[in-house]
Structure 1
Amino acid sequence: MEKIDEINQFDNLVKTKNKFFLLKHSITCPVSQAAYQEYQKFADDHKDIPTYFLTVQDSRPLSNEIADKYQIKHESPQAILFSNTEAVWHASHWKIKNQSLASAFSDNE
Structure 2
Amino acid sequence: MSFLKNMFGSNEEKQSVSKVGWRQLTDLGQLNEIIDLSTEKPVLIFKHSTRCSISRMVLKQFENEFDLQDKVIPYYLDLLEFRNVSNEIASRFGVTHQSPQIILVKDGKAVYNASHESIDICKLVQFV
Alignment TM-score > 0.5, same fold: yes
Q: Does 1:58 align with 2:78?
A: no
2:54 to 31, 35, 40: 31
Q: Does 1:3 align with 2:20?
A: no
Q: Does 1:108 align with 2:121?
A: no
Shift of 1:38: 2.4
- Contact 1:42/1:102 (<8 A) preserved: no
4+ residue runs over 3 A deviation: none
Shift of 1:32: 0.3
- Which residue identity lines up with residue 46 of structure 1 in the other structure? L
- Give the structure-2-normalised TM-score: 0.73
Is 31-40 or 20-29 further displaced after alignment?
31-40
Q: Does 1:46 align with 2:65?
A: no
Rg larger for: 2
Question: Residue by residue, what CA displacement relative to the aligned partner does 1:55-96 show, whole Å, maximum 9, x if unpaired?
Answer: 111111110001112221101101111111110011101111
Residue identity over aligned pairs, in percent, reads: 27
Q: Structure 2 stretches of 5 or more lacking a match?
A: 1-21
CA RMSD of aligned residues (A): 1.5
- Contact 2:49/2:80 (<8 A) preserved: yes
SS of 2:59's equivalent in the other structure is helix
- Give the structure-1-normalised TM-score: 0.85
Q: Distance in 2 between matches of 1:54 and 1:27?
A: 10
Q: Does 1:16 align with 2:37?
A: yes
Structure with bigger RCO (C-alpha 8 Å, 6+ apart): 1
